[in-house]
Amino acid sequence: MERKRIVVGVSGGIAAYKACTVVRQLAEAGHSVQVLPTESALRFVGAATFEALSGQPVHTGVFDDVPQVPHVAIGQQADLVVVAPATADLLARAVAGRADDLLTATLLTARCPVLFAPAMHTEMWQHPATRENVSTLRTRGAVVLEPASGRLTGTDTGPGRLPEAEEINTFASLLLERPDALPYDLAGQKVLVTAGGTREPIDPVRFIGNRSSGKQGYAVARVAAQRGAEVTLIAAHTAGLIDPAGVDVVHVSSAQQLQDAVSKHAPEAQVLVMAAAVADFRPARMAQAKIKKGPGEDDRPPTIDLVRNDDVLAGAVRARADGQLPHMRAIVGFAAETGDENGDVLFHARAKLQRKGCDLLVVNAVGEGRAFEVDHNDGWLLAADGTESALEPGSKTLMASRIVDAVVAFLGGGG
Ligand SMILES: Cc1cc2nc3c(=O)[nH]c(=O)nc-3n(C[C@H](O)[C@H](O)[C@H](O)COP(=O)(O)O)c2cc1C
């Protein structure tokens, strides 16, 4: 990605130390990063740390470096402003339009996307004053991330934790790729997402697995949650991904466990996104003891009988038709396809859409360096009404934002 001007505002919360990683990662990605801490933030992390990590001087007040008029210029020139952590106080000052330090003045002059990553105690986060401030900022077009749940200052836990730096920067990169990628348009919707690859046990140490990293499904869950949905993510095995902030994650292993979790959560959901790579077959029996290789070179390898797993996607479509999923309005399937002598990728994908009966099908061409285990993706989106659109190449988070757009359009169209 080309070098962008990013302002990282840091306000005075205990999570200010995590801003160091946010700054470091953005600078390492080649961007020009200017850190604007509040006076309180500097009681948590020293200016020298931010100056060394960003390679730029750090000021807090509007009267430093006056000939450059930084209180106006920094905001005007920025491509993106990220405030991490955003304290309750900083959110309130931003809503009030205060300009009593360099960061808040910059928030008034910036016309680029602004991303707030709030972090505070649960009581502060849930206070009506903060709820209203968050809602006002969203109405004005800012992106205010849902905090993660977990350990806060001291020993208590709950929602209010700053998401990990990697996750904040995932959203920062998304807004640089696509400034309007995170509208708050899924509030009140329950979205169920499956992701990752299942493992079908052969014996206590071996399994049949697949190469799904879970990245695409996690990205869909992450984007849907930040667009306001209540998201449950049923996560099979992934490449060590971070649980997305603001998402309820249910970890499973086998296709059967994934099926059970979908059956449990789907009746509440309005949207189901089946991004998981669910094994089609499993060993008919799992050996209770490790299958031995045998001492001799000529010992015959064991034969493993396979049986079919239920088709979770087709099962959900059937359950909806039978009236068992009263709230379900959009079912999205995924197809990882290769062309063969019978037809190209789209030919097979169209057949799959017909067979499965879902509303939308995300199609990826797989093969050398494509779709699996990588961070970028491209493909097509096929709808049951016959419309087809290309998903332009980009990060899996960008792809997720396009997929969520399609879901929102489908819901809006009375789907
Ligand atoms: C140890 C400590 C931890 C704090 N952590 C937070 C926090 O995580 N979130 C928050 O909103 N305020 C927190 N505060 C309170 C803020 O520092 C205080 O509201 C301050 O005025 C914020 O100033 P600023 O928004 O200008 O940075 C903390 C205060 C202390 C002393």
Tell me if residue 393 falls in helix, strand or coil.
Answer: strand
Per-residue confidence (pLDDT) for residue 366, from 0 to 100: 79
Checking phi first, is residue 246 left (phi over 0); if not, alpha (psi -120 to 50) or beta? Answer: left
CA distance 126 to 117: 15
Task: Read off the DSSP letter of residue 163.
Answer: P
Q: How far is CA 396 from CA 190, 213, 393, in A?
A: 22, 12, 9
CA distance 209 to 309: 13
Which residue shows structure tokens 């800012």? Answer: 142
Whether 172 and 115 have beta carbons less than 8 Å apart is answered as: yes
Report the top-level CATH class of 190-291+298-414.
alpha beta
CATH topology of domain 5-177: Rossmann fold (3.40.50)
CA distance 169 to 172: 5
Residue to substitute in 87, 93, 107, 156 for testing ligand 1 pocket (most ligand atoms within 8 angstroms of CB): 87
pLDDT tens digit string along 47-101?
999 999 999 999 999 998 888 888 889 999 999 999 999 999 999 999 999 999 9
CA distance 81 to 9: 7
Per-residue confidence (pLDDT) for residue 373, from 0 to 100: 59
Per-residue confidence (pLDDT) for residue 367, from 0 to 100: 67
Domain boundaries defined on the chain: 5-177, 190-291+298-414
Per-residue confidence (pLDDT) for residue 291, from 0 to 100: 92
Q: Quote the pTM value.
A: 0.93
Phi, psi of 325 (to 5 degrees): -120, 75
290 appears as a binding residue in the annotation: yes
Atom of ligand 1 nearest to the CA of 101: 26
**pLDDT < 70: residue spans in the chain:** 367-375, 413-415
Per-residue confidence (pLDDT) for residue 313, from 0 to 100: 96
Atom of ligand 1 nearest to the CA of 103: 26
Tell me if residue 208 falls in helix, strand or coil.
Answer: strand
The active-site residue, picked from 169, 210, 364, 377, is 210
Closest CA to 124 of 85, 88, 86, 162: 88
* Chain centroid to CA 149: 15
pLDDT tens digit string along 157-205?
889 999 999 999 999 999 999 999 999 999 999 999 999 999 999 999 9
Which residue shows structure tokens 């790579």? Answer: 277
* Cα 15 to middle of ligand 1, angstroms: 9
Which residue shows structure tokens 């960061």? Answer: 103
Atom of ligand 1 nearest to the CA of 15: 8
Phi, psi of 193 (to 5 degrees): -125, 135
The verdict on whether 342 is a catalytic residue reads: no
Residue to substitute in 40, 102, 116, 151 for testing ligand 1 pocket (most ligand atoms within 8 angstroms of CB): 40
- The reply to whether 190-291+298-414 shares the fold of 5-177 is yes
Q: Ligand 1: residues within 6 Å at CB?
A: 11-15, 38, 40-41, 87-90, 119-120, 124, 153
